[in-house]
Amino acid sequence: MRKFKTESQKLLDLMINSIYTNREIFLRELISNASDAVDKLYFRSLTDESVSINRADLSITVSYDTNARTVTVSDNGIGMSKEDLDKNLGTIAHSDSFEFKANQAKNTPGEEKGLDDMTDVDIIGQFGVGFYSAFMVGKKVQVVSKAYGSDEAWMWESNGIDGYDLKPAERASHGTDVIVYLKDNSADESYDTFATEMGLKNLIKKYSNYVRYPILMEVTKSRQVEVEPAEGEEGETPAPKWENYVEVETINSMIPIWKRKGAEVTQEEYNEFYKTDFHDYEDPARTFTVHAEGTLTYDALLFVPAHAAYDYYTRDFKKGLALYSANVLIMDKCEELLPDYFSFVRGVVDSADLTLNISRETLQHNSQLRAIARRLEKKIRSDLVSFRDDDREGYEKFFENFGRNMKFGIYSSYGAAKGAVADLLLFYSAKEQKMVTLDEYLEAAPEGQSAIYYAVGSSLEHLAKMPIVTTVLAKGHDVLLCPDEVDEFCLMAMMDYNETPLKNVSSEDLGLTTEEEKKEAEEATEANAGLFDAMSEALGDKVEKVVVSTRVSDAPAVLTCEGPVSLQMVATMKAQMGEGAEGMPPIPVVLEMNPKHPVFAVLQAAQEAGDADKVASYANILYDQAMLVEGLPIDDPLAFAQRVAELMK
Ligand code: ADP
């Protein structure tokens, strides 16, 4: 007996003992696996001449034995070798990145969850753990498989508890049989329905109706047969008799859902299709269809998921729509059909106009495909606009999931994507204390406001308290608070929104001060030249200069940057570049002093008294605390603490 890996073991325990109500999904999972296996063989036949199969022969068969209490799902797909069986079915961690998902569950903020604590039974349904769901209804599962091109078959067998066995077996041809031995009924649970014709037929129709390959089942039918009148009883026709016979029937409709008119399909059906085909546990947030006829004929069915896939924000994620030509899948994920900023969209596109044997290289240059992509992009955009306008709550949830991706799209296209997504973005308004669009921001702005103001920092709470933010707010202008790292990069790449410039409150001249105020500040700066020179010297290359501020009202001092790059952005870049950041050119940082703050008078007095040590020490304290207020790390926390302690003595 081979042992299961530990994590698999824990999950299996959960599965077997779960009171998970949707046990019936095991059939969907096994059929999906069978369909994938058939797909794999079909794909191979397209590229590998040594594989000769007839697509029409590819199928899935569901059978049952009421007496033996077994359900069997068979396919004539690619099959598994002994090694495949060992690797694929011996570790859950191997299946569909389960490990990753378990880790993710663990890392849900606020609640530490390990597999051990995953008693929340719904998790099983959420993870859609594929093959292992067979143990929700089965006390034993056998998998008999023969890999395509091999002449040996192997059987994997397990009770799902401590391990599994692998032994040689017999199978006529390539493919796999998964045989589930149903659990015994208990006082409150019955598994009988899974070994009946009606039970299985209903489940196939409910969950697997659109599987592309026929799902075959032997069904019992009755027919009337004429009974020959007995000898010598002419005239009297005896009543016909009923007789049962067995026929193989295709249970699933196979008519692709995207070919059907929207009005004929219920949302429920779309949801089931989405969950089955795209392996999601949650219904999609949006569903929309496109049926185009004319120079380019195609059907598309698109979904916006209700949550980001576990790998969405990783390098492993691959965008794309499934591409069919006349119902036949050409490609699982055709990237060319989706722009990066809408990479979260899932769905299928079916166009009879596309040739079947289209290769990746030719696809990129395929003008039909590009035309379809352009149309789809418009369609996605217009659906998101209605989403934003008609269901704001839902849209905000959507934006929490995918807003970052749209913002990243603007940044990575150097602003080129802004026409497509800028009006779909939401930012947190400091004034309204809720998410607003840039249009809403501008509509609410006072007459004559010439820019959109934003502030970047580590959290909303922190940003709301930043001195520069409160100063701009006090002047009657709203500030968009941007806690997301990508925000600043996105807004800088955008530069303006419909010609209104976007301004970072801490890095540019905000145009909020009058000429008079500016002149006053310049004069005050000059008048304090001695003090400011001494402070600059004490701070070394940390600052470019020290000046009297026009924008700070409460705090003693703030740090700003000359030019467009902010301190936040420098911190982000440093964090991302690590060692590589060493060579980054320094950015001109300005320490702006508030002349009305009592600390200013203290500094002036120290300067007059010729107390250079005090000026230097205070300059450093002011610099460090301004950094802290920005939510940025300080170079030497120990020195800061010592200076503050010195003050307190
Ligand atoms: P998933 O399908 O999410 O990867 P499963 O636990 O359902 O996870 O299956 C694990 C792996 O076992 C699959 O990725 C596939 O390689 C293999 N497998 C399962 N069922 C079959 C089958 N009927 N034919 C061939 N391979 C299969």
Query: Is the predicted pLDDT of residue 1 greater than 60, yes or no?
Result: yes
Decide: 523 and 515 in contact? Cβ < 8 Å. no
| Residue 554 CB neighbours (<10 A) | 13
Which one, of 20, 136, 130, 17, lies nearest residue 71 by Cα?
136
H-helix or E-strand containing 270? helix 267-277
Confidence (pLDDT) at 20: 52
Using most ligand atoms within 8 A of CB, pick from 28, 72, 88, 101 the residue to mutate for ligand 1. 88
Q: pLDDT band for position 366 (50/70/90)?
A: confident
| Dist. CA 440–CA 456, nearest whole Å | 20
| Dist. CA 274–CA 345, nearest whole Å | 12
Between 405-419, 457-471, 506-520, the lowest mean confidence (pLDDT) is in 506-520
Instruction: Using the CB atoms, write b or e for 461-495: b if 16+ within 10 Å.
Output: ebbbebbbbbbbbeeebbbbbbbebbbbbbbbbbe
pLDDT digits 0-9 by tens, 301-324: 999 999 998 889 888 899 999 988
- The answer to whether the CB of 134 is under 6 A from ligand 1 is no
pLDDT digits 0-9 by tens, 264-307: 899 998 998 898 888 888 999 999 999 998 888 899 999 999 99
Token pair in block for residue 577: 């570049």
Q: pLDDT band for position 572 (50/70/90)?
A: confident
| Dist. CA 486–CA 302, nearest whole Å | 27
How many angstroms is it from 33 CA to the middle of ligand 1? Answer: 5
Q: Check: pTM over 0.75? Answer yes or no.
A: no
Query: Is the predicted pLDDT of residue 359 greater than 60, yes or no?
Result: no
What is the rounded average pLDDT of the residues 580-592? 79
pLDDT digits 0-9 by tens, 215-232: 999 999 999 888 887 777
Using most ligand atoms within 8 A of CB, pick from 76, 86, 131 the residue to mutate for ligand 1. 131
Query: Is the predicted pLDDT of residue 94 greater than 60, yes or no?
Result: no
- The answer to whether the CB of 96 is under 6 A from ligand 1 is yes
- The answer to whether the CB of 15 is under 6 A from ligand 1 is no
pLDDT digits 0-9 by tens, 611-643: 999 999 999 999 999 998 888 889 899 999 999
Token pair in block for residue 203: 């489940």
Sheet holding 321-325, edge to edge: 286-292, 298-304, 346-350, 321-325, 328-334
- The answer to whether the CB of 158 is under 6 A from ligand 1 is no
Query: What distances in angstroms separate CA 134 from CA 15, 274, 277, 417, one per listed residue?
Result: 9, 21, 19, 46
How many angstroms is it from 437 CA to the middle of ligand 1? Answer: 44
Phi, psi of 216 (to 5 degrees): -95, 145
Q: Percentage of the chain surpassing pLDDT 90?
A: 55
How many angstroms is it from 322 CA to the middle of ligand 1? Answer: 20
Confidence (pLDDT) at 639: 93
Query: Is the predicted pLDDT of residue 605 greater than 80, yes or no?
Result: yes
**CA gyration radius for the chain?**
34
Using most ligand atoms within 8 A of CB, pick from 33, 39, 135, 215 the residue to mutate for ligand 1. 33
pLDDT digits 0-9 by tens, 392-411: 999 999 999 999 999 999 99
